[in-house]
Amino acid sequence: MNPLVASIQVRMGSSRYPGKVMHKIAGKPLLGHLVSRIQKSRLLDDIIIATSVNQENDVIESYCEENSIACFRGEEDDVLERTLGALRKMNARVGVEVYGDCPLIDPVIVDMIIENFLNDENDLDFVGNNLKTTFPPGMEVEVFKVSALEDAAGKVAEPAIREHGTLYIRQNPSIFKVKNVEAPVKWHRPELELEVDTEEDIYVVSQIFEYFRALNNENFGIDDIIEFMDGNPDLKKMNA
């Protein structure tokens, strides 16, 4: 039994940059970078990729099989049910959501949010750092009880809400116990775009990976990224 499991929602369809999750930079696809970084977490028991049953996502399932990564396939648009299906497959008690467009995620931040969830005496349903943006976009992490997500799935039918996974929990603090974790001063950089939505984002993220690859540094974290971006103002402007 794996009580604390990260689910990563990815699919090939994207309105702004189709196929971005399998776009190769610095030797492997963005999904590979994302998984490699999450695997450095001290607190996670396992990771599962949750993609849709649409045929275009066969390439994601194949990549998971080739790299011994658990994979679950569900509805394209019902992300809430797809997340639940993936976590149930892993017998998870606690889910950790890291967005598929965040290949630079720092495992230190993943563990920081998990620790906030585990150590809070209020028996919280949800802890995230995205209810208010204070970290650089691309460093979002959510930790929640699977039972709370099951409760949300039973309460909400609107496709527009189910499309966004934990949205019903986040929107209803009167029903669920939720908490936001704000960034410490040194990481309080909400203007620093580190997620991948556009071609410009791909270029910026690829420059970051290539820079640290040249230094033979696979363990670079948020401090290193901030220092690099602050030292390259023209790069920082590209996707601001």
In order along its 240 residues, the chain shows pLDDT tens digits of 569 999 999 999 876 677 889 999 988 999 999 999 999 999 999 999 999 999 999 999 999 999 999 999 999 999 999 999 999 999 999 999 999 999 999 999 999 999 999 999 899 999 999 999 999 999 999 999 999 999 999 999 999 999 999 999 999 999 999 999 999 999 999 999 999 999 999 999 999 999 999 999 999 999 999 999 999 999 999 988
Distance CA 223, CA 191 (A): 15
Under 8 Å between Cβ of 31 and 102: no
Q: At what angle do helices 30-38 and 107-119 cross, to 10 degrees?
A: 50
The residues, any chain, with a CB within 8 Å of residue 119's CB and separated by 6 or more, are none
The three-class DSSP label of residue 126 is strand
So what's the pLDDT on residue 140?
97
Distance set, CA 56 to CA 13, 19, 51, 195 (Å):
8, 9, 10, 23
